[in-house]
Structure 1
Amino acid sequence: MRIVVGITGASGSVYGYTLIRALYELGIETYVIFTSMGEKVLEFECGVNPEEIKKYATILNNKNLFAPVASGSFKTDGMVIVPCSMNTLGAIANGVGDTLLSRTASVVLKEKRKLVIVPRETPLHLIHLENMTKLAQAGAMIMPASPGFYHRPKEIWELVNFIVARILDAFDIEHEFLARWGEKH
């Protein structure tokens, strides 16, 4: 299995970082594309230098449109953008492929592969909602970073793992990140 992870400058980079580590632990080949603000937010919010991600995944330069993931002939199982800023979401929804991240998302859509968008913004205005609708109509899954509470979380990592588990579920990746509803806790 091969997954591309995009990390943008929206708050919530802990979701992306946790997902990358989980994919590594599960033996999933992972490629990561950061926006420049995504790198800064990861350092600010998590205290993690993007270079440290090299332990878990292959990092691709967002300016390199010659990277393998920019072509539909490079087979992946899909892409998740977590967190996804409204800027990046808007670019993808409107067919702008001027960065590797937005180009790769466009390729995933055109090849009918899974594209999971995890927007991290609130409140939302009409243009945000229209862009999400465009992406959903094009085949993307919109998965807001809105963790559930039925598992009675006591720590922040439990809320983060809830979202990461739902992302893994979207790709049919088996995991044990949370107890499922109706299962013993």
Structure 2
Amino acid sequence: MMHGHVTLALTGASGMPYGLRLLQCLLHADTPVHLLVSEAARVVLGLETDLQLPAKPSAMARRLLEACRLPDSAPLAVFGDRQWTAPVASGSGAPRQMVVCPCSMGTLSAIATGASDNLIERAADVVLKERGRLILVPRETPFSDIHLENMLRLSRMGTVILPANPGFYHQPETVEALVDFVVARILDQLGAPQSLLPAWGERLSPTAHGGGRAS
């Protein structure tokens, strides 16, 4: 079940459309979001989208709400990378659910080792220590032994490792449909209602209902 606020972090991996679409879906559902955006994420955003984000958190919030076609009253709070007084920096005020999407291998490594050198890493550390729900969405290929070992370490701590690997059984016709596939899986993990993707078996072709798997 979905519970209250969600912390969403965007880091410097490729895959910014996933993070932006997730933000849009959460806000349209009136889910309060604490947003953290790394400096590298702002660079990648400019490369992968038409969105140029200012560095100041308040200006960033206005620009994102405008891009998501939402009013200024939408429940979005953006915090700076070193804003240690933010609610997400303490177990007494942090949301119990956090998604890092996209998640760079550098951020994943820092979370696995408890580095807490910036607010994103600290927020993830808080969720882990408070036994909350941490979902990491890596967008990297191929994975090295270091990447895999870090993911295994985090998985054993209860972290959900949800790579940005869209499926094709829903017969996507657009890039947006591929993005929605991954975002739908994230929302499912958060316990949030979503209509982006039907559950398996809900919209299968008649031949698919008839029997075996394709070989």
**What TM-score do you get using the length of structure 1 for normalisation?**
0.96
* Cα distance in structure 2, aligned partners of 1:75 and 1:61: 15
SS of the aligned residue for 1:20 comes to helix
Residue 64 of structure 2 corresponds to 53
Residue 19 of structure 1 corresponds to 22
* Cα distance in structure 2, aligned partners of 1:100 and 1:159: 30
Contact 2:94 2:123 in 1 (8 A): no
Aligned residue identity for 2:175: I
Which of the residues 88, 91, 108 maps onto 2:110?
A: 91
* Cα distance in structure 1, aligned partners of 2:102 and 2:146: 18
Task: Describe the superposition over 1:142-180 as per-residue Cα deviations: whole angstroms up to 9, x where unpaired.
Answer: 000001110010100000000000000001100101122
* Cα distance in structure 2, aligned partners of 1:79 and 1:97: 15
Residue 185 of structure 2 corresponds to 166
Alignment partner of 1:33 is 2:36: yes
* Cα distance in structure 2, aligned partners of 1:132 and 1:6: 17
Residue 149 of structure 2 corresponds to 130
Deviation at residue 58 of structure 1 after TM alignment: 1.4
Aligned residue identity for 2:28: E
Residue 213 of structure 2 corresponds to none
Contact 2:94 2:126 in 1 (8 A): no
Deviation at residue 77 of structure 1 after TM alignment: 3.2
**What TM-score do you get using the length of structure 2 for normalisation?**
0.83
Task: Describe the superposition over 1:1-37 as per-residue Cα deviations: whole angstroms up to 9, x where unpaired.
Answer: 2000000010001100000000011110001101100
Structure of larger gyration radius: 2
Contact 1:53 1:59 in 2 (8 A): no
Aligned residue identity for 1:39: R
Percent of counterpart pairs with the same letter? 42
In structure 2, list runs of 5 or more residues that go unmatched.
Answer: 54-59, 67-73, 205-215
Please say which of residues 72-81 and 149-158 is displaced more in the overlay: 72-81
Residue 92 of structure 2 corresponds to 73
Q: Number of aligned pairs? A: 185
* Cα distance in structure 2, aligned partners of 1:54 and 1:126: 39
**Segments of 4+ in structure 1 off by > 6 A?**
none
Contact 2:96 2:130 in 1 (8 A): no
Aligned residue identity for 2:84: L
Please say which of residues 170-179 and 50-59 is displaced more in the overlay: 50-59
Which of the residues 4, 7, 29 maps onto 2:7?
A: 4
* Cα distance in structure 2, aligned partners of 1:130 and 1:81: 18
Contact 1:92 1:102 in 2 (8 A): yes
Which of the residues 159, 176, 188 maps onto 1:157?
A: 176
